[in-house]
A = this chain, B = another copy of it.
């Protein structure tokens, strides 16, 4: 059982049979074909030698197949994490240097260990700190940054800049040295790939392919682009004409690499590593959940942390860089009919074979082709509808979304994530400290109580019913005291205050202190404090304190009963609370 939790392979492995095998094989072939150009491209985006992308697509898949809980998630290098790797490694070493590669490998190791630890500590919930608006804002901004960073390869110019304005400026200032031949490769390939996304499938079906087959074939579009541009380079000798090519890729399986144990380096990298871990986990788990739901399967987020941790550690020890579950490839894997994580393992074999035998063929592959595949891939991440929707629905969420986009574009990916989380949290705490509460009255002829400002309801001057629409925690404890005492101060005839607690899901120590203070002050003024509709768990806890004995009022099961009782209060002191306890009312 315990073993099964940490090694999901023991679960699905038992029922593994021939038909599942063929389906997994099928999917693996398609994903492999798709993954080869992607891996090279994302390594380029991370500022690493293309082959590192291949290394990062072998052992990590095997590790995930053993520890992962999603049947169809395909791990490997992904765009956003590659960008974050580039910015983190770029901060400690120069691109192309041995230190840069070491930093990337170390990032994978640190983030792998962090993910595993978070998993063992069951801290997956920390990913919740990234709200949907923050994530989508971050993805959009990253997409823009990535696409911009790749433009230089398509234009054949040099350009830099680590924030968006700087990138655009640097592109503009170097626009003069455009290499026409690179452009003649880059632009058509980009257009072709854009067309492939939408137009290829219908076209193939027009040629008589079945829908699913057409779909799968279309996924091979990038491979076609790769092949054609390689041929173009060879036929027209484009390298001599200034078209940058991938060049020699070391042949063979991933080397056994050791991540750095240099503390000063780890000190510099742990923050970005943590952000890479969280972003990677969130992206991966969202994909996994979406796909699992389609087949009524479930994933275990905390175990996912362990799975991704293992993948990154495996990546580090085989000379790779940070990986996570990718959206595009996972969908392909799913559509191609993968049934178990074994498909991932088979893909790993495919990539291994590729890095053994295919790499020489990629010598003449233009960088522009890879850049084009990246641009087309990430632009689909840019989402321009969300801001409008958020603005209409929730200004707070809109603010978090826009802040994340703006800061990511201006201050880079790391600051973007941090700011997004910060803004989201600040707005959340701000709302939590000013909760909603309503003065309620009875809806005529019913047992329901509604806001006096929204419904025509029945009230009496000597009873004040306040519905607290929030748990009473330290964040709003002060607010509660002020709110109740101010309402009371406005009502001289008041004899009883009923706090309707149907929406109070918790009362922490600070909330309790405030309730005691309110009870005490109302008592001084000869006003009774009563609670109605208190939830079971909350009542249980209150019973562990002296509050109920000290309460100068009662606990009522229902607001209706409380109101009925107190309405006709003649001024005698209310019976002690244990009287009600005896009647099992609480």
- Interface residues, chain A, CB within 8 Å of chain B? 125, 127-134, 289, 293, 296, 298, 301, 389-390, 392-394, 396-397, 424, 428-431, 433-436, 447-448, 450-451, 454, 469-471, 473-479, 481-482, 485-486, 489, 502-506, 508-510, 512-513, 517, 521, 535-537, 541, 544-545, 557-558
Task: Select one of B301, B478, B508 contacting A397, CB under 8 A.
Answer: B508
Of A128, A392, A435, A544, which is in contact with the most chain B CB atoms at under 10 Å from its CB? Answer: A128
Measured CA separation A194–B433 after assembly (Å): 40
Whether B128 lies near A393 (C-beta < 8 A) is: no
When the two chains form their complex, are residues B508 and A469 in contact, meaning their CB atoms are under 8 A apart?
Answer: no
Residue numbers in B under 8 Å from A289 (CB-CB): 478, 481
Between A and B, 26 residue pairs with Cβ closer than 8 Å are A125-B433, A127-B478, A128-B474, A129-B429, A129-B475, A130-B474, A131-B477, A131-B508, A131-B509, A133-B474, A133-B509, A289-B478, A293-B485, A293-B521, A298-B482, A301-B478, A392-B545, A394-B508, A394-B509, A447-B447, A448-B557, A448-B558, A454-B536, A469-B535, A470-B471, A470-B505
Given A293-B521, A475-B128, A537-B436, A393:B509 Cβ within 8 A: yes
- B508 near A545 with CB under 8 A, answer no
Most chain B beta carbons < 10 A, residue from A389, A504, A505, A513: A505
Contact B505 A436 (CB under 8 A): yes
Taking a contact as CB atoms under 8 Å apart, the answer to whether A298 and B430 are in contact is no
CB pair B489 A296 closer than 8 Å: yes
Do residues B486 and A298 form an inter-chain contact, with CB atoms below 8 A? yes
- Assembly stoichiometry (copies): 2
> A132 to B536, Cβ gap below 8 A?
no
Find out whether the CB atom of A424 lies under 8 angstroms from the CB atom of B474: yes
Cα distance, A267 to B397, chains bound together (Å): 32
Contact B510 A131 (CB under 8 A): yes
Q: What residues of B have a CB within 8 angstroms of the CB of A544 in the complex?
A: 392-393
Main secondary structure of the interface of A (DSSP, over half): helix
| Residues of chain B contacted by A392 (CB below 8 angstroms) | 544-545
Whether A509 and B132, one on each chain, are in contact in the complex, defined by CB atoms closer than 8 angstroms, is yes
A434: B residues at CB distance < 8 A: 125
Query: A427–B436 Cα gap in the complex (Å)?
Result: 23
Within the complex, what minimum Cβ distance (angstroms) separates A449 from chain B? 11
Chain B minimum-CB-distance residue to A431: B506
Q: Which residues of B contact A133 (CB under 8 A)?
A: 474, 509-510
Cα(A263)–Cα(B469), bound, Å: 46
- Determine how close the nearest CB of chain B comes to the CB of A135; give it in whole angstroms: 9
In-complex Cβ contact of A545 among B393, B396, B502 (8 A): B393
Q: Supply 17 further A-B pairs (C-beta < 8 A) apart from A128-B433, A293-B485, A393-B541.
A: A128-B475, A128-B477, A131-B473, A131-B474, A131-B510, A132-B510, A289-B481, A298-B482, A393-B509, A393-B512, A393-B544, A428-B473, A436-B505, A450-B536, A454-B536, A470-B471, A502-B502
Chain B residues contacting A293 (CB-CB under 8 Å) are 485, 517, 521
Q: Which residues on B sit within 8 Å (CB–CB) of A450?
A: 536
- Cβ–Cβ < 8 Å partners of A436 in chain B: 505-506, 535, 537
Contact call B474/A430, Cβ cutoff below 8 A = no
A389 shortest CB reach to chain B, Å: 8
For residue A455, give the distance in angstroms from its CB to the closest CB of chain B: 8
